[in-house]
């Protein structure tokens, strides 16, 4: 939809500010994975089209209120993104609103994640399928903090995202870090009662080396490093 000159200018200033802040974040990180992620966010800010739809929410269907969307389509082997965001959520009195800005930052933070991101998400007690949304929210909070958004604004925005993560306190995690919610993670408190159960033990790889034995002989005692296992011989008192 057509924007007013004031809205257009406000959006342009916001995006330029976001870009310069993420550039600084990218150039000051010492982690190659983060460098790649920030670089992709800069690329998103510069190139992903932002489609502004009239109204307060996007057509939401059954999944509740949708304030933003980053749709990805594979076209001739290239993944193409487009952001959709409703006008009345993004702008307030002719300027980019705080909540709208945070939603837009979230959509711009949807990047293809390294494998370790999915493991990290699982460590938090969340299903790895949440990794994309989880990291978009964490990255959004990082960028927003660096852009000098108030902590309360970020917290208020994220507290409404808890339902997306089965109750996980994403707002506190983003602001206080992993230590801040360590107890909740350990106890699985954020999981709804219906699915609350102890975390399964991870499957461990065998710690002893496996020896390949010559065919026809079950145990070879004269090969170095191969020991016959003790017979199972229960004794009863
Ligand atoms: Zn998202």
CA of 194 to the centre of ligand 1 (A): 26
Q: Is the pLDDT of residue 179 over 60?
A: yes
Which residues surround the ion ligand 1 when the cut-off is CB under 5 Å? 136
Taking residue 205's Cβ as centre, other Cβ atoms within 10 Å add up to 5
**Buried (b) or exposed (e) across 118-134, using 16+ Cβ within 10 A?**
bebbbebbbeeebbbbb
Q: Is the pLDDT of residue 236 over 50?
A: no
Closest CA to 140 of 114, 174, 168: 174
CA of 69 to the centre of ligand 1 (A): 6
Spatial separation of the C-alpha atoms in residues 227 and 40, rounded to whole Å = 53
Can you give the pTM of this predicted structure?
0.77
Instruction: Work out whether the CA dihedral 71, 72, 74, 75 comes out positive or negative.
Output: positive
Q: Tens of pLDDT along 1-34?
A: 789 999 999 999 999 999 999 999 999 999 998 9
Spatial separation of the C-alpha atoms in residues 179 and 158, rounded to whole Å = 18
Structure tokens at 149: 């958004």
CA of 182 to the centre of ligand 1 (A): 24
Sequence ranges of the domains in the chain = 5-194
**Buried (b) or exposed (e) across 160-174, using 16+ Cβ within 10 A?**
ebeebbeebbbbbbb
Q: Tens of pLDDT along 204-233?
A: 444 444 444 344 434 444 445 545 545 544
- The mean per-residue pLDDT over the stretch 115-130 comes to 86
Using CA atoms, how far residue 13 sits from 24, 68, 71, 101, in Å, is 17, 20, 24, 11
Structure tokens at 58: 């996007």
How far the first Cα of the chain sits from its last, in Å, is 85
Spatial separation of the C-alpha atoms in residues 59 and 51, rounded to whole Å = 14
Q: Is the pLDDT of residue 180 over 80?
A: yes
Taking residue 83's Cβ as centre, other Cβ atoms within 10 Å add up to 20
Structure tokens at 113: 């994640």
CA of 229 to the centre of ligand 1 (A): 53
């Amino acid at each position: 939809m057509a924007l007013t000159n004031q809205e257009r200018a406000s959006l342009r200033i916001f995006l330029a500010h976001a870009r310069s802040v993420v550039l600084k974040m990218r150039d000051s990180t010492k982690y190659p994975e983060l460098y790649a992620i920030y670089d992709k966010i800069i690329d998103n800010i510069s190139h992903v089209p932002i489609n502004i739809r009239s109204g307060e929410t996007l057509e939401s269907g059954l999944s509740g209120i949708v304030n933003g969307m980053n749709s990805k389509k594979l076209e001739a082997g290239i993944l193409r993104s487009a952001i959709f965001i409703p006008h009345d959520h993004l702008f307030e009195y002719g300027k980019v609103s705080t909540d709208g800005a945070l939603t837009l930052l979230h959509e711009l933070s949807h990047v293809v994640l390294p494998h370790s991101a999915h493991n990290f998400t699982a460590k938090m007690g969340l299903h790895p399928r949440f990794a994309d949304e989880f990291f978009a929210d964490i990255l959004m909070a990082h960028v927003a903090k660096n852009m000098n958004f108030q902590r309360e604004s970020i917290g208020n925005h994220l507290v409404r995202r808890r339902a997306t993560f089965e109750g996980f306190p994403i707002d506190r995690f983003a602001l206080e870090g992993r230590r801040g919610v360590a107890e909740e993670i350990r106890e699985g408190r954020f999981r709804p009662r219906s699915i609350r159960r102890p975390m399964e033990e991870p499957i461990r790889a065998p710690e002893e080396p496996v020896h390949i034995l010559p065919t026809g002989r079950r145990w070879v005692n004269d090969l170095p490093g191969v020991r016959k296992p003790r017979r199972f011989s229960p004794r009863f008192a």
